[in-house]
């Protein structure tokens, strides 16, 4: 199976502003050594709580921000140090859907302008062809032709998100990064957009990097899931296997904590102690050890690498659960 996106040891450190002349000494380690491959046609999800760095990953992959270290390969090309000009021809193939339907659309533009911006830049189309293409895409995402000249404020949150989806697919991308596309929507609308994303994936042969904090959604739409904690991946596995048998203690706690609309679920919940540490001062060794019930001495000393424990199941833990050693 062909790899469309490959990330190796990706790091992004943000310096903490320290005034006009002082050199800043503190850094926020938003992403701290991320590695994964995304295969053509698959949906890989990045899931994690606040501070885990998943939104930063989206921007790194799109090269909207500069990596501090590491490599990003898209369709076999190393785009890690690509300038904006170098990225330009790649843009149609690599698109993004944003989280906030209210700030991701320019309030002064119409649907036609928003979806058409990319078309006008990358394709030489006659006015009539442009119009047809836009209407075609609008229909695909469930918008009606009369929405063509309307402005964002005339739409609901769910419809705005559809406009955002339309914008992202109009240039026939290969990979779409979806950064929390459902988080700002009502539950019933989430289902609509989720169905739409699944349908488009099938119809257009898309690959998705799906970023979310919502485990149910992620489990539904993903082929594989990567669980992130404080800038690193702690576990990576096919989604059904991950749900059935989480190996990393954090993954276990995460799944156990996420409420499901089912009555009578066993209330043996794993309640983690403490809060997510700040990415300004991540704990030494294994990032998770401060909250881990199974921790031992080595956990605070050295950081476990992400290793393939079983075929397709990667875990970064000194004592992975269910491995017999815990």
Q: Report the alpha-carbon distance of residue 203 to residue 198 in Å, rounded.
A: 9
Nearest to 54 by CA among 308, 279, 292: 279
Neighbours of 310 (CB within 10 A): 11
Q: Which is nearer to other proteins, 25 or 267 (CB)?
A: 267
66 to 85: interface string for other proteins, x by CB under 8 A: ------------------x-
CA distance 240 to 221: 11
Q: Which stretch binds other proteins (CB under 8 A): 30-38, 70-78, 235-243, 305-313?
A: 235-243
Tell me if 1 contacts other proteins by CB under 8 A: no
- Residue 68: phi and psi, rounded to 5, are -80, -35
Q: d(Cα 197, Cα 164) in Å, to the nearest integer?
A: 12
Residue of the chain from 223, 295, 300, 313 that contacts other proteins (CB under 8 A): 223
Q: Which residue from 191, 241, 294, 313 is in contact with other proteins, where contact means CB under 8 A? A: 191
Nearest residue to 181 via CA among 256, 238, 112, 104: 104
- Which residues, at least 6 apart from 4, have a Cβ–Cβ distance to it below 8 Å? 38, 39, 40, 74, 75, 174, 175, 207
Query: Is residue 311 classed as helix, strand or coil in its secondary structure?
Result: coil
Among positions 38, 111, 215, 299, the unique one binding other proteins when judged by CB under 8 A: 215
Q: Does 194 bind other proteins (CB under 8 A)?
A: yes
Q: Among residue numbers 9 through 68, which ones bind other proteins (CB under 8 A)?
A: 20, 42-43, 49-50, 59, 62, 64
Query: What x-and-dash track marks residues 150-189 binding other proteins by CB under 8 A?
Result: ------x-xx----x--x------------------xxxx
Is residue 303 within the footprint of other proteins (CB under 8 A)?
Answer: no
Phi, psi of 6 (to 5 degrees): -135, 125
Shortest CB 324 distance to other proteins, Å: 26
State the DSSP string of 130-147: HHHHHHHHHHHTT--GGG
CA distance 161 to 189: 10
**Which residue in the set 245, 269, 281, 322 belongs to the binding site for other proteins (CB under 8 A)?**
269
* Number of residues in contact with other proteins under rule CB under 8 A: 77
* Chain centre distance of CA 285: 25
Question: Residue 198, interface with other proteins (CB under 8 A)?
Answer: yes
Q: How far is the CB of 246 from other proteins (least distance, A)?
A: 12
Q: How far is the CB of 164 from other proteins (least distance, A)?
A: 8
Residue 129: CB minimum distance to other proteins, A: 19
Of 37 and 117, nearer to other proteins (C-beta) is 117
Out of 79, 227, 253, 315, the residue judged to bind other proteins by CB under 8 A: 253
Q: Rounded to an integer, what distance in angstroms lies between the CA atom of residue 291 and that of residue 171?
A: 45
For the record, the structure tokens of 176 come out as 């779409």
Q: State which of residues 22, 76, 128, 263 lies at the interface with other proteins (CB under 8 A).
A: 263
């Amino acid at each position: 199976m062909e790899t469309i996106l490959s990330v190796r040891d990706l790091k992004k450190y943000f310096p903490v502003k320290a005034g006009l002349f002082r050199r800043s000494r503190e850094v926020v380690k938003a992403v701290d050594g991320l590695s994964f491959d995304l295969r053509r046609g698959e949906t890989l999800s990045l899931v994690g709580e606040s501070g885990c760095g998943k939104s930063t990953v989206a921007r790194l992959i799109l090269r909207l921000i500069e990596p501090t270290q590491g490599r990003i390969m898209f369709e076999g090309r190393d785009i890690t140090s690509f300038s904006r000009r170098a990225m330009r021809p790649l843009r149609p193939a690599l698109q993004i859907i944003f989280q906030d339907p209210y700030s991701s659309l320019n309030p002064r533009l119409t649907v036609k302008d928003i979806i058409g911006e990319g078309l006008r830049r990358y394709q030489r189309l006659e006015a009539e062809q442009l119009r047809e293409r836009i209407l075609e895409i609008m229909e695909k995402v469930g918008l009606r032709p009369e929405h063509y000249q309307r402005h964002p404020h005339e739409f609901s949150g769910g419809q705005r998100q559809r406009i955002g989806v339309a914008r992202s697919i109009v240039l026939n991308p290969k990979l779409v990064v979806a950064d929390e596309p459902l988080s700002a929507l009502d539950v019933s609308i989430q289902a609509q957009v989720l169905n739409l994303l699944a349908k488009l994936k099938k119809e257009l042969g898309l690959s998705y990097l799906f970023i979310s904090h919502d485990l149910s959604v992620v489990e539904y739409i993903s082929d594989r899931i990567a669980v992130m904690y404080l800038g690193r991946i702690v576990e990576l596995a096919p989604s059904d296997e991950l749900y059935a048998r989480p190996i990393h203690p954090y993954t276990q706690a995460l799944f156990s904590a996420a409420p499901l609309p089912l009555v009578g679920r066993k209330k043996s919940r794993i309640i983690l102690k403490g809060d997510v540490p700040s990415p300004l001062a991540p704990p030494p060794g294994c990032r998770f050890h401060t909250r881990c019930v199974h921790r031992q001495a080595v956990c605070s000393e050295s950081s476990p690498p992400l290793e393939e424990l079983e075929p397709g199941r990667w875990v970064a833990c000194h004592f992975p659960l269910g491995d017999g050693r815990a």
